[in-house]
Structure 1
């Protein structure tokens, strides 16, 4: 098990680079992944089944014990990212499948990568996970609704298909994983060690399929415009998520402290791009280009999230900011000698 965990840690550390190499490989050798075009829903189901295996009733109790922060964070996610996507489509004059793909990834729930980034930045991991759970459970209802409202001007949005596919690849696997956890209890821990590896391999397979299916269209002008759009979409999510959480601190300082502000920043800015790509391939099968923004997002948000979490950690150390300070006050670590600035973020999840 130690070797499995060590390999999982290595894969997580180098995942962004591996994604880039894998995408390039599939661009030049598309036959590698084209076989999986009809299986992307199953690949994502594996990822979300693994998520369900890690859940327990305590996770849902935690949502009930801090409902305001979780609900507000989830609402912020489903308001900010879709509207920013629509604005960017208008600014860059995107149209057709590419615009649909940008809006679709904006309507997706928060990505599991945000949990890692929140952890690395010493954010509130428990809040991050709670918002991720709630936004994922809301996804089958929110995605069709938002897509119908925001993307129907570009193509006919198959709201029914989006709902059914989202239920099939989100709610059923998560629910099945949760049931398995309840039945087998602590024995599940023997399996969960390998879940990061399984999840990341499944995400790589999805990315490989999208790149292979769109290879000839990826590096033409009409597709490359999605790169700056995706980058701005993600960065605006970080900025607006952080600004929103700082504003909420003025309203409810007890709940939206510095660690919670970090968690909401990552939860708003990072998307479940694998879900976006899967839904694009299944519900917009005649327009596979709609999956391209999700693929670009998957690569970029891991890069930007790693940079931001590293910067945040170094910034806090440099200015002696305690991880559990009220609002990121400089020198707050010195005022709390019993709880050093470099306390591990996992302490927050306890």
Structure 2
């Protein structure tokens, strides 16, 4: 959504024009012919088209050009060809400030996506190493211990599953509009699958995961719900201390509720709703020095609230537990969603 009529022109893509909400240029100034003309004339900074209208061009981080055409400025010269109802509304500085705000927003989004991509690459490398080592161990063990080899093969499958879900999460974050279809999704099956994936990686860190409860009900929505327990359990494994327990519980009534309880860093009361916003991490979570982008909980919230019309929240006890002189608090994330009998 743009306040001023704006053209986005990429080096290898067809330019597209976005109509402004505050300032719409006349149809004569936004024909395909004029659009091509603007793209041919626009250079970084201010320029004037062949009809005497001002236009401002800035480069976005993507390499695309941001072009604001068809402007008559209150502190500029009048256009040679005029149209009824279209006259000066903004100063040059106002338009420049507006363009700068768009570029700054695009830069923030680019940094956020790059940060998520860096975290994904780090995880992919780690998971790739896990898959390789488990596969090699399984080959050796197949010759002498079938049972232990099956465990290693299970680790390979778990690592591959986590790898796929991390890629799915990044894909959904990058292109949320790609989801167009809905289906009935077995809730407990999705949760159980994620728990099994994480058990091997949690065990390597001397942390245990237990799943209790059950549900025979179905969610209705896009097939992305497993990213919800994935993000929450991923955080629980990351932030909980060595030797601790992570508990996942599923209960059902008219709705189905999932709780993930673990020990974690303090979440300030004022942060309990803020940590579900895009790019926001808790103060104590940042101070742990553990990597994070503030995207996982935002993605969880978006999936639960937008796609499945449910809710998600966090509660934390006030009593502290200590591991290696570090302070931890029992933390419970709750997901509550409407479900259906098959």
- Assess same fold via TM > 0.5: no
TM-score (norm 2): 0.25
Which structure dedicates a bigger proportion of its chain to helix? 1
Q: Highest Rg: 1 or 2? A: 2
Tell me which protein shows more strand as a share of its residues: 2
TM-score normalised to structure 1 length: 0.24
